[in-house]
Structure 1
Amino acid sequence: MSGFSKEEMKQKKIAVLLGGLSAEREISLKTGTACLNALQQLGYQAVAIDAGHDLAQQLREQQIDIAFIALHGRFGEDGRVQGLLEMLEIPYTGSGVMASSVAIDKVATKKMLLYHELPTPGFDFVRPGDSTEALFERCKHLPLIVKPSREGSTIGITIARSREALRHGIDTAAALDGNVLVEDFIDGIELTVSVLSGQALPIIQIVPKGGFYDFHAKYTAGETEYLLPAPIDADCYLRIQQAAVSACETLGCRGAARVDFMLREREFYCIEVNTIPGMTETSLLPKAAAEAGIDFQHLVETILLDAGLDK
């Protein structure tokens, strides 16, 4: 744990780690730049570091005291950078090594959720060397959602409404990650709950104009409508918020996280947990925080002041 006050933190040199090596690099650059600007405006000694293969060298050369992780996807959100920072004894924001490595893996996350009796859609998966034909025999119902197990931002995701589409979806996902999740399609309302320092923020209902919240709908202004707070039954609203907090506790998340759900009638299903939510102009965590009365600078500062080690 860091235990630094605001005044002490302002004496530290803070690196905002952005960019990186994953398929979500461009989104990370936007997230990191927004966070960097907020920290500098608040008077923190913050600099940007593009987290490439020379990250350890850059951290040492620039004598970094604290790392603000604004990386999405692999080599940033998956526990690897967190492990490096632990070895270098540099406190960092967000979830620790274990929570990060489990949450980035959708299959591992769903297994954890099921073990702790948190609702999630039925699923199957394919690993390198597994028989795709055997999966077809097991998955006889359609439609299905096919996803790379360890990618974010809906990259490589397919809705399979036929056997041919399922085969194509598996090939598409496998090109990004050898582990492929095949999940029951839930025809319902898409919701997301941001969790900040263990507290659930207002729920957002996501209504993409094209009917599917893909990469284009997620990151193109005007392509998706966000209903905030989500206009759902009050009891259901509270239960989903509680489930979001429970999911984060189950995985051991810290700082800020976001939990995605599907709601069908009064039954809800946890889809995935994001340990480093986006902080762009279209991102959901800042929207939820603003609804709760937390402006962007305060949100970024709250994430920073939770920085620590041994998570």
Structure 2
Amino acid sequence: MTNGAEHREGGTVADLDRVLVLAGGMSPEHEVSVLSGRRVAEALRRLGVEVQLADAGAGLLDAIAADPPQVVFPVLHGAAGEDGSIREILDLAGLPYVGAPPQACRIAFAKPIAKTIVAGRGLDVPRGVALPKSAFHDLGAPAVMARILDTLGLPLFVKPDQGGSAFGAAPVETAEDLSAALVGCFAYSDTALIEERVEGTEISVGVLDLGEGPFALPAVEIVPDGGVYDYSARYTAGRTEFFCPARLDDEVASAAADAAITAHLALGLRDLSRTDLIVDRDGRVRFLEVNVAPGMTRTSTLPLAVEAAGLDFGVVCRDLAQRALLRG
């Protein structure tokens, strides 16, 4: 018997011995990814699992070829970590990993496409448009912005069509704000997603599948001190107040859970995901986006929801890794 954790699922025993946690990467979310990866690694080590923590850089493939882990736990945020490419590489290397397969990641990472798919499954999404930087250059930025304002009105919210951690995202309260918001957005992506800004209660709903089908964790209500859940509010302790479970009535909480599971299934996700939603002033649950590699830091919402559900974060990470091992 090894020093790993033993897990039985459907009559099969998976002896989890060595896990490679991938964190860091080259995206603007590098620092957050490192923090998430360290927390996952620490949680697994606490349960007696041997863990290697590595960055997804040059030398990675040679290292895993020389000493292959049993399972890879990707905790990479942003491009490569969430667009499916690193998972394509893991598939080529024949290594089982935690999380969604490449095609599902590509779809979920492209926010406009994900919105279209979940809307087709009945979820309520904010009105919006996705426009490349070239459209403003070729057609004239003032004319395009005027048409956006005429159609969507104010307030708006601008964010890159891909990416996370609120990089390049900004609220737009006035017509004058729109130009600056687009400039900030295009620093992170060549395409901007411009949506009507829904006023209401911002919540996050994690979904886990530990072997018996996906289930929703308690919704986390997000109340940033400045009113906008930006990078600083997400990762600076004390900048945001979290309520878990969220202060919702039972019917709305149930609708939010259903929305997160619907998005998880509609996009073909696996193991875990996090769906960001807004409950508007009429009590309607509105879909914003979904994340295939949720943050795992001390201020991230998925670990908060795991704790509120009465689950042990380390055990959840171990069980996800064991499921990947069985699948592999």
| Fold equivalence (TM over 0.5) | yes
SS at match of 1:207: strand
Deviation at 1:306, TM superposition (A): 2.5
Deviation at 1:50, TM superposition (A): 0.8
**1:52 paired to 2:64:** no
Correspondence for 1:25: 30
**1:279 paired to 2:284:** no
> Unmatched 5+ residue regions in structure 1?
none
Question: What is the aligned counterpart of 2:16 among 10, 18, 39?
Answer: 10
SS at match of 1:130: helix
**1:296 paired to 2:313:** yes
Paired residue total? 307
> Retained in 2: the 8 A contact 1:150–1:177?
yes
> Unmatched 5+ residue regions in structure 2?
1-5
Amino acid at match of 1:273: V
Question: What is the aligned counterpart of 1:238 among 226, 248, 254?
Answer: 254
CA distance in 2, matches of 1:62, 1:174: 41
Q: Structure 2 matches for 1:33-44, cutoff 5 A?
A: 33-44=38-49
Q: Structure 2 matches for 1:213-252, cutoff 5 A?
A: 213-252=229-268
Q: Structure 2 matches for 1:66-215, cutoff 5 A?
A: 66-131=71-136, 132=141, 133-140=143-150, 141-197=153-209, 198-215=214-231
Amino acid at match of 2:42: N
TM-score, normalising length: structure 1: 0.93
TM-score, normalising length: structure 2: 0.89
Correspondence for 1:268: 285
SS at match of 2:135: coil
Amino acid at match of 2:277: F
Deviation at 1:9, TM superposition (A): 3.5
In structure 2, do the counterparts of structure 1 residues 309 and 155 end up closer, same or farther at CA, with 3 Å as the change threshold? farther
In structure 2, do the counterparts of structure 1 residues 190 and 242 end up closer, same or farther at CA, with 3 Å as the change threshold? same
Correspondence for 2:3: none
CA distance in 2, matches of 1:194, 1:285: 6
CA distance in 1, matches of 2:324, 2:83: 17
Rg (Cα) greater in structure: 2
Q: Over aligned residues, Cα RMSD in angstroms?
A: 1.8
CA distance in 1, matches of 2:74, 2:196: 32
SS at match of 1:210: coil
CA distance in 2, matches of 1:17, 1:279: 13
Deviation at 1:58, TM superposition (A): 2.8
In structure 2, do the counterparts of structure 1 residues 54 and 169 end up closer, same or farther at CA, with 3 Å as the change threshold? farther
Which has the higher mean CA deviation after the structures are superposed, 106-115 or 76-85?
A: 106-115
Question: What is the aligned counterpart of 1:256 among 272, 282, 290?
Answer: 272
SS at match of 1:306: helix
Amino acid at match of 1:307: A
Deviation at 1:164, TM superposition (A): 2.6
Deviation per CA, 1:18-40, whole angstroms, max 9, x where unpaired?
Answer: 11111110011011011111112
CA distance in 2, matches of 1:217, 1:68: 26
CA distance in 1, matches of 2:196, 2:287: 12
> Retained in 2: the 8 A contact 1:94–1:306?
no
Amino acid at match of 1:123: G
CA distance in 1, matches of 2:167, 2:275: 17
CA distance in 2, matches of 1:26, 1:86: 26
Deviation per CA, 1:180-236, whole angstroms, max 9, x where unpaired?
Answer: 100110111101111111100111111111111111111111111111111212111
CA distance in 2, matches of 1:127, 1:59: 38
